[in-house]
Structure 1
Amino acid sequence: MSEGAAGPIRVLHVITGLGRGGAERMLYTVCAESRRRADAEPRRGAPIAHHVASLLPGGRYRPLLEGVGIHVTTVDAGQVWRFPAAVLALARLIRRERPDVLQAWMYHANVAAALALMVIPKADRPRLIWGVRCSAMEVERYSWRLRVTLALHRLLRGLPDLTAVNSQAGRDDHLRLGLIVEPAPVIENGVDVESFAPADAERRAAARRALNAPDDAVVALTLARVDPMKDYPLLIETARRLPSVQFLAAGEGTERLEGPPNFRGLGARDDTATLLAAADLLISCSAYGEGMSNSIAEALAAGLPVAATDVGDAARLVGAAGRVVAPRDADALAEAVGALTADENARRALGATAARRMRQEFSISRAVDRFEALYRAGEG
């Protein structure tokens, strides 16, 4: 543990992996913005020093973290049989680095962090913060590994000092299911409102040319990996019902999806801002499990209305800037998308209102303020 409040507050983050995903992006955002603040505003208080431990090697965000000066260590749990060794390696890392705060992100990392602390003397244990990034999952759709992880999560739920949850729905679901206990503050995802600002006509035209989207087409965009919770069959059925709308889907596995002629899967992409600049609206059609959707928040910040299923905090996010319908209901989703595509002027007015609201209520600065407050809670 650090000695005295004058030194840096050391935070060791534990995450399952550093590939594409909302939790990974938020971890990078918190570390990068906190590092920027420490460099730009050295008199804010004790600086916060971040270190990241990943249970899986590689990943898109590893070089990005290292590029902003954040050290990344892999404690390899790539195979089930390696998990006990990874927990012991994490425990050794904790004893060596002596962080003030151990923050875990998502189920597997939560369990690994809690188990690692159990083999460390109590006097040497940092404060433990768990992280929950989803609402209730339909676990029967996934492997036995997730079921075992959730069983351990339930057994270990009393060990963390608190659990930070990114949605009210996720908080309520996890408390109800006995997977976490209080305190469980909600810290919504922050949005980079500068990077995802509404596109001007020139940037929109360039983005459309890059995607071979006609100027006069109405483009509905979905940003999600292929996973049962994302319910791509619902999106494809919606596309069949609205042949005049061009549907684009970006995310890992989407390039292999088959749909009607007006549906195109783009695969994994790193140019989200460009995709949003080319679109007229966003569709989020998750069936379950969503917490606070990054794609919804980014689309709203970019001035796009949203048609979403009522999963997680979608209704709270969308507000009046779109339509929210029941999950797994193709009739309702097709009607919602049709209504948003029917009137261009109304669509743009909704988008402008959404962009203003995201800037005011969901900025990165606000989210990082709240994370830093958690880290500083034990200061001194």
Structure 2
Amino acid sequence: KAHFDGRIVSKAFPQNLDYADALSLTYRFGIRGDKAEVFLTEVLRKFPFPEIDGERFLTEAIVWYRIARAGYVFRLVNEVLYEADYRADGLSAQSLQLRIDNPQGTNLFYKEKLEGGLPFFGMLREAINYVRFSMHQKAHDLQRQSIMSLSWPAKFYALCMYVPGYIFWLYDRHVLLHSSMRKAQTKDHALSSHTSSIRVLHVINSLAAGGAERLLSEMLPLLEHEGIHSEVLILDGSHAVFAETLSKCGIEVHVARPDEKRNHKANPYNPMRVFSVIRTIHTRAPDIVHAHLAPSVYWCAIAQGFEKKPSYVLTEHASENRRMSMPFLRPIEKWLYGKYNLVCCVSESAHTALASWIGPAITKLAIVPNGIDLKQFRECLDVAEDVSTWLDGRIGVLMIARFVPVKDHMTALHTIAALPDRYALVLTGDGPELNRMRSYAQKLGITHRVLFTGSRVDIPQVLKSCSVYLQTSEKEGFGIAVLEAMASGLPVVASNVPGLSVIVNGAGILFPEKDYHAAAESIQRLEQGTLRNDLIAKGFERVQRYSLSNTVTSYASWYRKLAKHAPGQKTV
């Protein structure tokens, strides 16, 4: 049997093999898929198809294997007898859904294969399927086939494969049983104005305050004008300060684990999140899946093994990450990046670090610098009233960053402690280190000089309320907050680390990493002569290179290139 273009369905029979039964063809020679079979009528009459009340489908292979066990063999002919093609909505395309919807016959099929005996790996495979579809029987309010009802050694294999079978059942439950939802949503897509757009699903840990999160909130609405329709899946729905911004622009935000009682809070590192990613990709049917930050990039890489139709893109937002300090993770990381059709690095330093980490390029690496909406920051005239009131005439030193160790808020606290009382520190952001930094500020005796604002969406107004911008990070993929400060007319003082030095050098002041005395001295120097005004002017000039419109144009171009490639094909 062949397709109309001449391609053999499955694969040809082995040369010099004239006779074989159906079981040998499948489990010894690895030949699966349809063939053009011709049976003697008298043989078929001996093996009628089982009929099961309430079910409308049972694979014909159950009869072929019964015939094989009775000692009948096929006469094999390596010639095309007829040509055909498969319908997109045909039985073959719906094979798994049909087995789920007809679990009694399906489990009878796998039980007979197990108890009839198969090669070792065949027993493992069918034991998984037996466990998997026995659980579907229970889900259909049918009496589940008990593993203990199997004969030996089938019972042994089924017990050993219980956990993998359970995992596959979870996959079915979370993805394939949502096919009706997908059909309805596909119909909605066809009726929407986005039918001619490239559809991109962005997967990110959260939409809490952070550089990558803020970039998405500003970039995705602009991509709509480029014919790129975006949706966002967040693994943790709590503190999603940018979700409303996106929703107002018509961009759907999906929460991996919606739970209003817990404010949609979830642990992104929970391996169960991978099922949420697979389910969302399956139901939303995007052309491209774009992953941001770990562990989202891991869950999307795993999802690629199940949902192969979209192209997969990863943005590396950090010049280095903790994983790069663990050599034993290198093989896993190579596998991870190899799953993506395109990896975008936000800076030259991120590109260099990643290329060094994964060795010879196994996937496409590109540099797409982050950008900001210059107009939004330059033309903002309002201040954040709460911040301005709290400062009460003091010189506001601002730092915007998630409270995670790599941002080194401790150096920022030591810096403000080393400055005269006329200076006060404003820390904007959220994260796991927040409470620890509150306690540390209390230990330093500077709580009255430190304002923790939490996550904010009015970043331009917060910037206008302060006089100096400070960034103490140990490393950055791309200092987007520094650019926003420059665009707002603030002089920048930052640690001399990859991801910051390339932006700040020549347009701000760099100090050695963790040297809070140097940071404090640099801030005080801004009060001398024309240095402050000179740096503000140089900052305005520097930020012109990093317009958000350039970032949008670059991503839109890459999306279009990927959309032209066949599903699953790597760009090189």
Output the TM-score relative to the length of structure 1.
0.82
Does the aligned pair in 1 maintain the 2:200–2:229 contact within 8 Å? yes
Q: State the SS of the aligned residue for 1:266.
A: strand
Distance 2:195 2:423 in 1: 58
Report deviation, 1:209: 4.1
298, 307, 327: which one aligns with 2:513? 327
The count of corresponding residues between Structure 1 and Structure 2 is: 355
Report deviation, 1:6: 8.2
Distance 2:279 2:385 in 1: 51
Per-residue CA deviations over 1:206-254 (Å, capped at 9, x if unaligned) read: 787433331xx43322122322112122122222222143333222226
Distance 1:52 1:208 in 2: 31
TM alignment of 1:247-258, pairs within 5 A: 247-252=425-430, 253=434, 257-258=441-442
Percent identical residues: 23
Distance 1:183 1:157 in 2: 9
Report deviation, 1:166: 1.4
Distance 1:54 1:177 in 2: 27
Distance 1:246 1:323 in 2: 19
Q: Which residue of 1 aligns with 2:279?
A: 92
Does the aligned pair in 1 maintain the 2:407–2:473 contact within 8 Å? yes
Does the aligned pair in 1 maintain the 2:333–2:358 contact within 8 Å? no
User: Which has more radius of gyration?
Assistant: 2
Distance 1:370 1:68 in 2: 21
Q: Which residue of 1 aligns with 2:333?
A: 153
Q: State the SS of the aligned residue for 1:53.
A: strand
- One-letter code aligned to 2:350: G
110, 114, 135: which one aligns with 2:297? 110
- One-letter code aligned to 2:555: F
Q: State the SS of the aligned residue for 1:107.
A: coil
1:129 aligns with 2:313: yes
Q: 1:206 to 1:71 in 2, by over 3 A?
A: closer
Does the aligned pair in 1 maintain the 2:311–2:563 contact within 8 Å? no
Q: State the SS of the aligned residue for 1:156.
A: helix
Report deviation, 1:355: 1.8
More strand as a share of residues = 1
Q: State the SS of the aligned residue for 1:69.
A: coil
Note the residue ranges of structure 2 that are not aligned, 5 or more in a row: 1-185, 258-264, 565-572
Q: Which residue of 2 aligns with 1:27?
A: 216
Per-residue CA deviations over 1:41-98 (Å, capped at 9, x if unaligned) read: xxxxxx2221212222242222222221112222339347852x43233223323333
Q: 1:81 to 1:322 in 2, by over 3 A?
A: closer
Distance 1:33 1:355 in 2: 23
Distance 2:322 2:219 in 1: 29
RMSD, aligned CA: 3.2
1:242 aligns with 2:427: no
Q: Which residue of 2 aligns with 1:41?
A: none
1:272 aligns with 2:451: no
Larger RCO of the pair (alpha carbons < 8 Å, separation 6+): 1
- One-letter code aligned to 2:511: V
TM alignment of 1:156-195, pairs within 5 A: 156-178=336-358, 181-195=362-376
- One-letter code aligned to 2:337: R
1:67 aligns with 2:253: no
- One-letter code aligned to 1:305: P
Q: 1:20 to 1:247 in 2, by over 3 A?
A: closer
Report deviation, 1:159: 1.3
Q: Which moved more, 1:246-255 or 1:349-358?
A: 246-255
Does the aligned pair in 2 maintain the 1:239–1:260 contact within 8 Å? no
Per-residue CA deviations over 1:293-325 (Å, capped at 9, x if unaligned) read: 222111011111111112232112113221112
Q: Which residue of 1 aligns with 2:549?
A: 365
Q: State the SS of the aligned residue for 2:377.
A: coil
Report deviation, 1:153: 3.5
Q: 1:377 to 1:149 in 2, by over 3 A?
A: same
Q: 1:161 to 1:302 in 2, by over 3 A?
A: same
Q: State the SS of the aligned residue for 2:375.
A: coil
Does the aligned pair in 1 maintain the 2:384–2:462 contact within 8 Å? no
Does the aligned pair in 2 maintain the 1:207–1:277 contact within 8 Å? no
492, 501, 507: which one aligns with 1:315? 501
Does the aligned pair in 2 maintain the 1:300–1:355 contact within 8 Å? yes
387, 391, 394: which one aligns with 1:212? 391
Does the aligned pair in 2 maintain the 1:134–1:312 contact within 8 Å? no
Output the TM-score relative to the length of structure 2.
0.56
Q: Which residue of 2 aligns with 1:43?
A: none
Q: Which residue of 1 aligns with 2:134?
A: none
Q: Which residue of 1 aligns with 2:76?
A: none
- One-letter code aligned to 2:310: P
Q: Which residue of 2 aligns with 1:78?
A: 266
Does the aligned pair in 2 maintain the 1:207–1:275 contact within 8 Å? no
